[in-house]
Amino acid sequence: MSVLPTSSAKPLIYLASASPRRSALLAQIGVAHRVAPVCVDEAVAEAEAPEDYVTRLAALKADTLWQSLPEAQRLPVLGSDTTVVVDRSILGKPADESDCVRMLELLSGRTHQVHTAVAIRSAAGSEVRLNVSEVSFRPLSHAEMRAYWRTGEPADKAGGYAIQGRGAIFIKHIAGSYSGIMGLPLFETAELLAAHHISNEISAGISTGVQG
């Protein structure tokens, strides 16, 4: 486990993820945190539904980090997991160019789902929330798919694309949570943090009577 500071503010939580996007989204809502990625087995269980898969992994990541922390260093831990789903099939990270092209062929000209779960683990216990959003792609040519792979962007992205990056040019429409598609649904995250009495910048301002 490596722990990386993300700001000079005293951290309120640990983020059990190496994703810079998730860290940036937490910073966006003013939650001071420290990045502490963990390694867990991300294999899909036999006949496991996509929603069960992402909620299980999000909770596993949060609990794995929590259990590894010395008691004196424990803070609430946030874990998250995202997967792309088409025809009820889970699309993970592409293994190589041909695998990325295969995934993009499945998504081309169609609407698919992005499942993202967020979990919190603290002394009060654990809790998980799920966000499901829909993304519609325009038709893609094979030349585009191969050129996109060569940018390097799809290599570590579920489904082989990034909505916040160059892959945005493929997306015709979304329904749901943009932040959830990126990897951390902020509505559900804020709800979980509030339930565990962890404030963000806005709620902290309200509680201290800060007014504009």
- Read off the pLDDT band of 6 (50, 70, 90): low
User: Which of 13-35 are b and which e, b meaning 16 or more Cβ less than 10 Å from the residue's Cβ?
Assistant: bbbbbebebbbebbeebbbbbbb
pLDDT at 160 over 70: yes
The fold for domain 4-207 equals Maf protein (3.90.950)
Active-site residue, from 81, 87, 99, 156:
81
User: What pLDDT digit, counting tens, does each position of 98-109 carry?
Assistant: 999 999 999 999
Q: What is the pTM of this model?
A: 0.88
User: 99 an active-site residue?
Assistant: no
User: What pLDDT digit, counting tens, does each position of 162-184 carry?
Assistant: 999 999 999 999 999 999 999 99
φ, ψ of residue 139 to 5 degrees: the values are -60, 140
Q: Write the CB contacts of 201 (distance below 8 Å, at least 6 apart in sequence).
A: 29, 30, 31
- Angle CA 184–139–106, to nearest 5: 60
Report the SS3 class of residue 128.
strand
Nearest-10 crossing angle of helices 20-28, 186-195: 70
